[in-house]
Homo-oligomer: A and B are copies of this chain.
Amino acid sequence: MASDHTRSAILAAAERLYADRGFGDVTLRDIVAEAGVNLAAVNYHFGSKDELIAELFVTRSIATNRERLRQLKDAEEQGGGRAPIEAILRALVGPPLRGCLGPENQRSTAARFMIRASIESVPPIRRIKNREIDHLRKFAGAMRRSLPDRSDVDIYWGLNFALAMAHHTIRESERLTKLSEGKCDLDDVEDVVARVVSVATMALTAGNAETKAPARALARDAR
């Protein structure tokens, strides 16, 4: 291949435009105009618009997932096969949080693109996300080894809640800032990571190992 000048120009322009304006109203014509290439180049190099989007998303998400697994491996080796639950959770939520939060004006295009991807959820991206389960299973396994007394159900719920807090905070960071009138500092990423890890750890370790749902006894608003 002579040079991927055109190909990478398209990728860069597409990522920038999607990051700025969302998937909804960016057309192939916008992209090729921004990239300074011909309209037909997209289909020539990528096959279709969806495959272009998929390639963008795959590139970014395998980077995140690789970093997650690296940190998980580190933590498990350091603990002799049994990492502390905090370290596992930090490996799970740290990379996406660090990748997407931080001072807005110095947020990378890639970061802004991933935020869009987590908000808008177009078909090609959803297809890829569905294949993420195997990746999550590795974390579930590590968590089980870390907390052998905990039931599988509790492990999965803990995993679910950890991801929930991380992703929701990314998706709704703007709203949280507005709601709290700036009191919640989303730019202090390490503080956010620590908060999420802390709560998720409590979720996974509180109460007796066999207690399914500690607060259940308090439920009284029947319906």
On A, residues with C-beta under 8 Å from B are 24, 71, 74-75, 84, 86-87, 90-91, 94, 98, 119-123, 130, 133, 136-137, 140, 152-153, 156-157, 159-161, 163-165, 167-169, 172, 175-176, 178-180, 183-184, 190-191, 193-199, 201-203, 206, 212-216, 218-219, 221, 223
Contact = CB atoms under 8 A, between A and B. Distances in A.
B194 A216 contact: yes
Nearest to A151: B183
17 contacts: A71-B221, A87-B221, A119-B121, A137-B179, A153-B183, A153-B184, A160-B176, A161-B199, A164-B165, A165-B165, A190-B219, A191-B216, A194-B216, A194-B219, A197-B218, A198-B216, A199-B199
Contacts of A90: 219, 221
Q: Interface residues of A: mostly helix, strand, loop or mixed?
A: helix
Nearest to A137: B179
B165 A152 contact: no
A215 B194 contact: yes
Contacts of A98: 223
Contacts of A191: 212-213, 216
A24 B160 contact: no
A156 B184 contact: yes
A160 B169 contact: yes
A148 B131 CA distance: 45
A184 B203 contact: no
A172 B183 CA distance: 29
B215 A201 contact: yes
A161 B157 contact: no
A23 to B, nearest CB: 10
Given A90-B221, A119-B121, A221-B94, A213 B184 contact: no
Greatest chain B CB density within 10 A among A133, A152, A199, A203 is at A199
Contacts of A161: 165, 168, 196, 199
A202 B196 CA distance: 12
